[in-house]
Chain A
Amino acid sequence: MLDSILEGVIALTLIAGGAFAFIGSLGLTHLKDFYMRLHGPSKTTTLGVGCTLIGSLIYFSLREGPVIQELLITVFAFITAPVSSHMLAKSALHHKLKPDPRTRGNPIELQSERPKHTLEEEPQGDSPLP
């Protein structure tokens, strides 16, 4: 009885994890500009990975006695994801990527006399690739 309840919980976390990871990836393709696309992977996909790992944690704890590694992986994923997304946003601001026109607020980092690059024509190097 307890086993089937726990199996249900495992199935639920796995499905939730898969759904969150899928929605995050969908956001990566669907949203309009770089800054909005950043929201998908930084939040949704991280929770997706977290849910999957929790499911795995419960499953292997049941079969092989308590394991704790998955919990550590989850914690590290939650600590590192904001840092990487912060660095991505920072480099996008540095390249002055144009935000979606509906975006309110015009931070000083995006204002310059340099021509702005749109997402489609990203800056290439001086020499064309072979």
Chain B
Amino acid sequence: MIPPTRWLPMPVLSLLLLLVWLLLQHSISPGQWILGGVLAIVIPLVARPFWERQPTIKRPLKLIHYVLRVLKDIVVANLQVSRLILDPRGRMRPAFVEYPLTLKENFSITVLASTITMTPGTVSAHLRLDGKTLLIHALDVGDIQALIDEIHERYERPLMEIFES
């Protein structure tokens, strides 16, 4: 990891911004490098108050594995939700589930909440102020405890290993 300095409080974010800028402009002319460079320095400085601290990725390989798994789950989730919507009998078993969080850091909780929203039949609805419970709305769930266990095993444990362990 590149150490943060005063003018580059979040070096990885700056690098990403420059890369995204060049890709969006679809050009690598010197002017775009300069403009992208200025943006890559100014945006993190302006956005700094909103960040708590830069998340560190401890296991990059696990992260790639996690992203692939989530992409696959997104497709599966969509087929499931489509089936539920198209089912004329409308046999849905919606439920509010209170999910006990074991993640501690805000960034990894955000990633988990977004993952839950994109994957099978669940939308994260509310994070209680104490940061220990995530309220999830599920579209069709039989066994609530099984859902909690599945989220824990499938998403929360890998995230724990990637960002916090």
Residues of A within 8 A of B (CB): 20, 23-24, 26-27, 30-33, 35-36, 38-40, 42-44, 46-47, 67-69, 72, 78-79, 81-83, 85-86, 89-90, 92-93, 99-100, 102-107, 109-110
The answer on a CB contact under 8 Å between A105 and B144 is: yes
Question: Which of chain B's residues have a CB closer than 8 A to the CB of A103?
Answer: 94-96
Once the chains are docked, how many angstroms separate the CA of A129 from the CA of B140?
Answer: 39
Listed residue (B74, B85, B115, B124) with the most chain A CB atoms within 10 angstroms of its CB: B85
How far, in Å, is A111 (CB) from chain B's closest CB?
A: 11
Q: How many residues from B make CB contacts under 8 Å with A?
A: 35
CB distance from B124 to the nearest CB of A (A): 6
Among the interface residues B26, B92, B117, B126, which one has the most CB atoms of the partner chain A within 10 A? Answer: B117
B114 adjacent to A83 (CB under 8 Å): yes
Over the window 62-106 of chain B, the binary record of Cβ atoms lying under 8 Å from chain A Cβ atoms (1 yes, 0 no) is 000000000000110110011001100010111111100000000
Q: How far is the CB of A96 from chain B (nearest CB, A)?
A: 12
Q: Is B8 an interface residue (CB 8 A)?
A: no
Name, among B93, B95, B121, B125, the residue most crowded by chain A CB atoms within 10 Å (CB to CB). B125
**What chain B residues lie within 8 Å of A72 (beta carbons)?**
20, 23-24
Q: How far is the CA of A58 from the CA of B94 in the complex (A)?
A: 38
**Would you mind naming 13 contact pairs between A and B with Cβ atoms under 8 Å apart?**
A23-B82, A23-B86, A39-B139, A42-B123, A44-B78, A47-B78, A78-B74, A81-B118, A82-B117, A86-B113, A89-B126, A99-B94, A105-B97
B130 CB to nearest chain A CB (Å) = 12
A39 in contact with B144 (CB, 8 Å): no
Cβ-closest chain A residue relative to B94 = A103
Chain A facing B: main interface SS: helix
Q: Which 6 pairs between the two chains have the least Cβ-Cβ distance?
A: A105-B96, A82-B117, A89-B125, A82-B114, A27-B85, A104-B95
B12 at the interface (CB under 8 A from A): no
> Which residues of A have CB within 8 Å of B90?
30, 32
- Inter-chain contact B123/A102, CB cutoff 8 Å: no
| Nearest A residue to B25, CB-CB | A69
In the bound complex, CA of A15 to CA of B75 (Å): 15
* Closest A residue, CB atoms, query B80: A43
